[in-house]
A and B are shown apart, each in its own frame.
Chain A
Amino acid sequence: MLDLMTLSLKNETLELLIVRVAEVQLAIRSSSIKRLENFRLKALNKVDKIGHPALLGYISPNFTAVFDLARLLKLETPGSANEPDETGKKESQLLQIEYKGYLAGFVVDQAQEVVRVNLAELDVLPSVVEKARLRPAAWALWRKDEQEILILIEPTEAISAEEWEQLNRQET
């Protein structure tokens, strides 16, 4: 039985970019992504004082903060392909997302495909932790054809307002 909310969302769709991060597939709203490009860690300007545990450094010319998305979302596993690459030669992809008037970069292993989904297909994630901590990942999508669950994330929500302020102070 459809409730009114489901009914009102029935014809609304959302375009999602599916990315692979530390062997997990995640979906990010396409409309939030300003840029997607190939990326190598050695392209980063590292800073002496790192303001966030998942911050890898900054890229020119706009001094955009670049985060390791796996570390930011606590998806790293020992021995995973996402472990920091000391040589800086490993090729990843960089998503640039606008947040509060600034651009933030997020490193993913690989962008895979763009899909359009009906909003009514999105389910709220079971509350496996405090709701506040789940802000960046609050929705799940069951892809029937692939028999898999996709988790919809908002990477910028994983950075608190205080952390963001601190990063921007460092930038200036």
Chain B
Amino acid sequence: MEENKSSSNSNEDILARLRQRNENQGQKGPNRNEPRQRYLAFKLGEEWFGLEVSQIREISRLDNLTRVPLTPTHVMGITNLRGNITAVIDIRGVLGLERRSLTNSARIIVAGAQGLEAGIVAELVSEVIEIARSQIEPPLLTLGHERGKYSTGVVQQSERMLVIINLSAVLVDLKV
């Protein structure tokens, strides 16, 4: 009984401290009623990126790529995804990331915005997370020019920082 009581007390303490933290955060803390958007978290190099789920058509394995003549280095090739010939692009270069070799974990994220569509290569796709708009901070200056240019914001999570990709900017600049 004593143990339960102390456990209950400590839970109350924790809740109180969480409430206090939320109050301290003021506007920055997500409001429970605030609408949330879903993002797909994926990895490029040692960094995590997020892409709005509403912009994604499908996620597919990276195989049967056909190289296309006279294309820049960010174009890995084209592939047939359920009857649609889709361009596959590697955005690591434009984000200033090292282009290390891809493993079996690599996936193609077929996504589109403003009538443009392409398959974006991810080294690893992890999960879909819900993020409230108030959790998204403006892109950090420390991200560097390229990453800042192709990002709509960043979300600080417990163990990682997620850079939200500005898909329209990427697709328009890469002439997809």
Interface residues of A (CB under 8 A from B): 24, 26, 73-75, 123, 125-130, 133-134, 136-137, 140, 142, 147-151, 153, 158
Contact = CB atoms under 8 A, between A and B. Distances in A.
Contacts of B86: 126
Contacts, number: 69
Contacts of B68: 125, 128, 137, 151
Given A73-B69, A125-B78, A142 B64 contact: no
Contact of A148 (B66, B75, B87, B175): B66
B70 A149 contact: no
B80 A128 contact: no
Contact of B64 (A127, A137, A147, A150): A147
Interface residues of B, number: 20
B162 interface: no
Given A128-B176, A150-B66, 13 more contacts: A24-B66, A26-B69, A73-B69, A73-B70, A126-B78, A128-B175, A129-B72, A129-B75, A129-B175, A136-B70, A137-B68, A151-B69, A153-B69
Given A73-B70, A137-B68, A148-B64, A142 B80 contact: yes
A86 B176 CA distance: 38
B75 A128 contact: yes
A128 B89 contact: yes
Interface in B76-98: 78-80, 83, 85-87, 89
A148 B80 CA distance: 8
6 contacts: A74-B69, A125-B87, A126-B87, A149-B79, A158-B69, A158-B70
Contacts of A147: 64
B118 interface: yes
